[in-house]
Chains A and B, each alone.
Chain A
Amino acid sequence: MPANKKYLLNSRLGRTSKLLAALFGSMVASISLHLALALWVGYVYIIPTSIYTIFIVWVAFMLLVYWIKKPWKSWVLLLTIILVSVGGIVLGKM
């Protein structure tokens, strides 16, 4: 009962793109989101919590990447989160 191929992405480029999004995109998104929260909410609570939530949120983003059908849409979502977080970090540091 291997998964039915007709529901899976069959372009190699699409699969690679999704793998990269799941590994690196989600990781950067998770880390930057936590850093932005730490700056705005207060790192006294966010850093210790992020010790475990960084990985849980990372995997949640991985799931989103595979749940969304088109690879470019996953990238748009991740890049939006990353850009908003980085913007928050830059603003918070000013």
Chain B
Amino acid sequence: MENKENKRNYNVFFNTHTVSGIVISVGLFICFFAGAFALFMDNINHWEANDKNGTDYAIIDYERVIKVVENEGYNMQGRQLGIFLREDNPSYIQVNSQPLEVKKDSTGTEKTQKPSEQDSIAKAGFFLKIDPESYEIKAKKFDPHTRQLGTFLYHLHYFNQIPTFGIYLAGLISIFFLFAIITGVIVHWRKIVANFFTFRLKASLKNLWTDAHTALGVIGLPFQFLYAVSGSLYGLTILIFIPAMLVLFDGDQDKMISYIAPGFEKTEMSNKTLENRQNINQLVERAVAQYEDKTVTSVFLNLTNFNDANAQLNINMNVETEKAFYSNANVKYSLASGEVVSEQKLGDNSYTDSVILTIHKLHFAQYGGYFIKAIYFLLALITCFVILSGVMVWLEARNNKRYEKKKMFNTNVGAVYLGICMGLFPAIAFFFGLTKVFPMDVPGRFGTMGSIFFTFWFAYILYAYVIKDFHKINKHALFLGGILGIMIPFVNGAQTGLWPWESLTQGYVDTFFIDVSWFFLGLISLITALSVQRLVSHKNKRKEKFQIKRLEKKEDISTEIPVMAVTDSSTAD
């Protein structure tokens, strides 16, 4: 009875593992493969723009920024303002503000009188891009499209190119990934140790893929679990915060923000105008001076109740240090007196803070420099292999007479899956090279390059669908990616003059790092592509041998029979 129960559970979980795994496989592969490159987002952005690594925060003249904003005709009384330097190509100072709340008079005059157009603009929320050199306004609209390669790959890894739903799709894939991991462990549990040391090269192809799938799956398990949980969190944050806001904070967003990020909570206005305001630049200097012996990499300003007697300035700093895991610090000044209202020192985090920061640091590999990121990259590729080998197990298990009718369909699905997954590698390598050779002055340059990238990728999928040969799909993708990857440092050197030896001596660390990494990545995949042999099922081989032997034997027997008969007859005689 118990045995039957076990068998039932095994089969049920096996089935759910297979179905959930196959459904998410392609999406998950894109998440992990593009995500592996997105780990080096900043490095890639620096490489693309040939920037030196900026480690120190850029000094901004905040007073001048505020003057520029005031000159635009916005009503500044009681405004909230967020100011920080956003890294982009080129970087800009971002100033954003929420709309001013319209206060209703007791007489209700506000309702009857329609505000004039000028008035509504003055009270509206805004977003401004300001040049950090000339302090001129460059754009007044937030543009969600990126113009940087690293950021593009980062967006690709959660399908941000699909508006609105992309991130939810990534979240759903993550939650099914978590389900697939746990059902996988349940199915594999009894043989988890024994199978870890099993690699049947000389059995059927299905056994080969299964052994690779399980062994590498076990190695990557903690890493995959981390990404399944944190990926669900980032994709489906809405599921945590909306119910929590409605139930625990009575639907009051400000209340929740003051709990999650106390530095950003709203404070009451005194409704008196501030006469003498402290100099914001000096306050920022004071805040940064606390961490003189460390490196402050970025500063984020949040001003509330501007020009009100109760105006406050929150300064959020990212401090790079080797001694602390958490790198954020926060200080809030009163703009009237310059006194500290509240403070969160480096390393002194609340429980909420530490949970959010820990997940962030683990997901983005921001705690051990290049070394940790390289390990993450490797583990992400291993995960990609686990996903693909899972698909191969599924295909091989259906590559027999029982599935003869569905063979065409299964082969097509397999070819398209492999085309999407393997085609991403040469497509990314191609995009890297493209950013260096594409003319700079083409309008909508990055958007065009993005379209070319997707076209290249789609062409490879089409190619895979046409040839339908899994071995060739893999081999040609590695070959193409290898050639394009090796070319990247040469293209960069020829176009910009920053050959690896030049970039290293001149201090362009990221340029050197990306160029050299691509060279070796390309070399490895090229060698792999050239030395790879078509996989053959040894089981089938043995079968063939066995059949040939049997045939030979039969022939032997048939030739022997008359002799035997003769001898028989002779003995009979």
**Which residues of A approach B to under 8 Å, CB–CB?**
1-4, 7-8, 27, 31-32, 35, 38-39, 43-45, 47-52, 54-56, 58-59, 62-63, 66-67, 69, 89, 93
Contacts and interface: CB of A to CB of B under 8 A. Distances in A.
B247 A39 contact: yes
Minimum-distance CB pairs A-B, first 3: A7-B11, A3-B15, A48-B355
A7 B12 contact: yes
A59 B14 contact: no
B178 A55 contact: yes
B199 interface: no
Contacts of A52: 229-230, 233, 355, 359
A59 B179 CA distance: 6
Contacts of A69: 8
Contact of A8 (B11, B228, B232): B11
Interface string B274-300: 000000000000000000000000000
Contacts of B12: 3, 7-8, 66-67
A49 B359 CA distance: 11
Interface residues of B, number: 38
B175 A35 contact: no
A85 B481 CA distance: 53
A50 B351 CA distance: 12
Interface string B17-52: 010000000000000000000000000000000000
Contacts of A47: 244, 248, 259, 352
A30 to B, nearest CB: 9
B198 interface: no
B328 to A, nearest CB: 16
A52 B175 CA distance: 11
B243 A31 contact: yes
B9 interface: yes
Nearest to B403: A2
11 contacts: A3-B15, A4-B7, A7-B8, A8-B11, A31-B243, A35-B243, A38-B247, A50-B244, A51-B233, A62-B179, A89-B247
A54 B240 contact: yes
Given A55-B228, A62-B179, 7 more contacts: A3-B14, A27-B239, A39-B247, A56-B178, A63-B183, A67-B9, A93-B247
The main secondary structure of chain A at its interface with chain B is helix
A47 B240 CA distance: 9
State the majority secondary structure of interface residues on B.
helix
B14 A38 contact: no
Nearest to B353: A48
Given A3-B12, A50-B240, A66-B16, A59 B351 contact: no
B356 interface: yes
Given A3-B15, A54-B240, A56-B229, A38 B351 contact: no
A55 B229 contact: yes
A8 to B, nearest CB: 6
B179 A43 contact: no
A32 to B, nearest CB: 8
Interface string B104-120: 00000000000000000
A63 B15 CA distance: 12
Nearest to A6: B11
A8 B17 CA distance: 13
Contacts of A67: 9, 12-13
A35 B232 CA distance: 18
A4 B9 CA distance: 11
Nearest to B7: A7
B182 interface: yes
B14 A51 contact: no
Contacts of A3: 11-12, 14-15, 18
B206 interface: yes
Contacts of B243: 31-32, 35
A8 B233 contact: no
Interface in B323-363: 351-352, 355-356, 359
A50 B359 CA distance: 13
B397 A2 contact: yes
Contacts of A58: 175
B229 A43 contact: no
B356 A51 contact: yes
B266 interface: no
B398 interface: yes
B244 A35 contact: yes
B40 to A, nearest CB: 26
Contacts of A35: 243-244, 247-248
Interface in B156-197: 174-175, 178-179, 182-183, 186
B175 A59 contact: yes
Interface string B226-246: 001110110010011001100
Contacts of B18: 2-3
A32 B239 CA distance: 11
Contacts of B174: 55
A51 B237 CA distance: 8
B351 A45 contact: yes
B13 A66 contact: yes
A3 B13 CA distance: 9
A58 B236 CA distance: 12
Contacts of B351: 44-45, 48
